[in-house]
Structure formats: C-alpha cells, structure tokens
Amino acid sequence: MDWQQVFATRASRMKASEIRELLKLLEQPDIISFAGGIPDVNLFPKAEVAEAYAEVLASPQGDAALQYSVSEGYKPLRDWIAKEMGKIGIACTAEHVFITSGSQQLLDYLGKLFLSKNDTALVTWPTYMGALGAFNAYEPNYDKLLPLSNREPSSYLDAAKEKGGAVKFAYCVPEFHNPTGVTMTRAEREWLLDLAEKLDVPVIEDAAYQSLRYAGESVPPILALDLERNGGDIEKTRTFYCGTFSKTLAPGLRIGWVVGNSEVVRKLVLIKQAADLHSSTINQMAIHKVAERLFDEQIAKIRKAYGHRREKMLAALDAYMPAGVEWTRPEGGMFVWVTLPKGMNGAKLLARAIETVRVAFVPGKAFFADGTGENTIRLSFSCASDEMIDDGVKRLGQLIASESAALAA
C-alpha cells in the first residue's frame, strides 16, 4: 500500500525531533553530551514521589486515583497552582487553570484551537523546536517576532493575508529562552503586549523555565503585565501562561498547566475530552502532595546545582573558545547559545564532534522556522558534571578552532 496517498496533508509537516534522536547518544558512555535540555535525574525527589503514591493509594481516594476523572484536572492541584501563580503577580482561581499531560500537549492544543491552514503564527527567531513541531501539524506559516522591532503592525497582517490566512497568535519563551537562554526585558514584554493588542491576537507565554533563575533580577510574567493593564481582571487578558512540573519536580509524570481567561480554558477542555479525556489522575494527586510539601525546597536545590553548572560552562567557554565564536550569558534555565564563525555548519560540526572528540550538542538550524541559523549550536549544562563541562568544552573549542582554520585556508 502507498501510505503517502492516504496520509493527510499535515503529515508532510511532521518532522523527527533532532533532540529526541540525540538523546539516544546518552546511552553511549564515552559521549560528553550537552544535547538534551533535560533535568538531572539525581535531583528528582524520588523518595518523596514514592511516598506520595503510596499515600494516595492507601487513602480513601485510592480508588478515585485509578479511575476516570474530570478533564479540567484535579481540583486541589489546580487550587495549589492558582495560589502559586498569585505569588508571581498572576491573580486567578482554579477556574482559570487547566491541567495537561505536560506543557507540550498544551502547545498542540493551542495550535489546534487557533490555527487554520495557512494562518500565521508569530514566533521568535530562533524558537523552541517543540513548539514548531506542535504547530506544524496545523499547517501554518511563520513570521518573525523580533522584540522592540519598529516593524509596523499592519505589515504582519498584510504578510499573513498574502499567504492566505490571518495572524493568530504570538508565541515566546520569555524566561531563559529555549534555545538561546536569553530573557525578555520588561520593555520587550510590554512591546509584545502592545503589538498583540494592535493585531488583536493572543500571546502564548511558554514559562517552562520560570523557576530556574540563578542570577539577575526577576521580571514579571507577561500575563502579570497583561493583568496590570486590565485592572487585575483575568477575563480581559489575552495572554496564556503555560507552566510545567517537568523542569522542577519530574518530567516523567507529564503534568503541565495553562492559566488564562475561562472562555478559552473551556475550549481547551473540550479538546482534551476528544483527545485523551484527562491527564493521569494518580499522577496529579501524587504531584500535588509533593508540591505542597517541598516545592520551594526543591526549587532551591535545583537552582543551586544548575546555577553552579551554568557558571562552570561560561567559565569554560571563556577559557577555551577561539576568536570568532560568540555565546549568550543566560541568567537561568538550561542553555547557552553559541554562534560559530561564518561559514561553519552546526550539523556538520556535530558529526565531526561525535566522530572525533565524542561531544554532542544540538545544531541550531532546527530552532529556525525557515531553516536558517546553520552556524549556531545549543549547549545544555543541566546534566553535566564539572569535569564533563570543562573537558567537553575544551574538546569542542579545539575542534572549532581546527575547523575554523580549515575554512580560512
């Protein structure tokens, strides 16, 4: 059977994740990997998670934990999230919180809700490749979201119309951006809200790394700024804050959430009812117990560990990278973005790095909706020891110097 004749047109937009493929390299013990932007398993609260599951199953709610549940999510967990959101300037109730199977599922749902074929999504350049993967299934076009740009709002609308659709939303990772590690300033966030208001489109705020700040001053979430503009009334806001426990407690539990106005939340609930009914009940109950007991303690622990590794990676880059290489200096998150000398190809460098110096990273091209950015790479420091960071960056710097010299010859 010729399956290509049967697949929907959207199937042609589905691409394998380069990061998912690179994670297979972690199984090779001699590879120093700066590839996957994943948490360190040694920092997971395993004992506390095990205790929480045992308590849930032994409690009067034990049967309910293994049963079907409401699509909106476990109410005590939604109440806890609403309380935590209030601490960062986002006043809301459980009515405005919707639980998903990780924030990645939420990106898929938002794409499904807002995008028709040929519509335009505004995304940063580069942007999180998982967002591109989620949105691609709905066959959109992409336009560049460049903070503080003097581009006229009408030009976004005209460009979208020429491509047969409309501008539907602006997507960004404002805190410790994946892949660049850069944080949007307050002025840039206000600019984005101004643009969204002029275009009359929603803003999708991907806040996966919100808790992972190691230096500098915190900036209010975009939704918090949106609330300020609207007298604290979340029903008047256009921003959707996407959160997750994957970077703080454990990604394997697959619990994420969105906070936003209730009209859109109700639509997202309908999508979930048709997709997978609800997120795992027992996982929600267990993560609620763990979050109630040690969330702040866990955040302090991972900030200390990842903050130290960030410092080590920046010091190693300072020490070993040759002239002509530039990199970001993130205040948090898991990533450093490296710009290679012009003419150097990140994908080809990866092949050479694995073959010769046994170092892995993610080529930057995958993060650009138009396939540009060939001379960029992303390095993650979250799962590397001091020795791995120093040795790996040294090896990579020597390889880049050698490749650069070959290009110049």
Model pLDDT, residue 4: 82
Question: pTM here?
Answer: 0.94
Model pLDDT, residue 37: 87
Average pLDDT, integer, range 348-365: 94
Confidence of residue 6 (pLDDT cuts 50, 70, 90): confident
Residue owning tokens 């009914």:
277
Phi, psi of 169 (to 5 degrees): -170, 165
Model pLDDT, residue 26: 60
CA distance 353 to 395: 9
CA distance 82 to 80: 5
CA-closest candidate to residue 335, choices 177, 134, 167, 206: 177
Would you give the DSSP letter of residue 213? B
Contact present, 305 and 40 (Cβ < 8 Å): yes
> Which secondary-structure segment (H or E) carries 290?
helix 281-320
Q: Is the pLDDT of residue 180 over 90?
A: yes
Determine the straight-line distance between the first and last CA of the chain, rounded to whole angstroms: 51
Confidence of residue 18 (pLDDT cuts 50, 70, 90): low
CA distance 237 to 233: 7
CA distance 181 to 313: 13
Would you give the DSSP letter of residue 165? S
Q: Is the pLDDT of residue 13 over 80?
A: no
The mean pLDDT of the chain is: 95
CA distance 256 to 243: 6
Which pLDDT tens digit goes with each residue over 113-163? 999 999 999 999 999 999 999 999 999 999 999 999 999 999 999 999 999
171 beta partners:
123, 204
Confidence of residue 350 (pLDDT cuts 50, 70, 90): very high
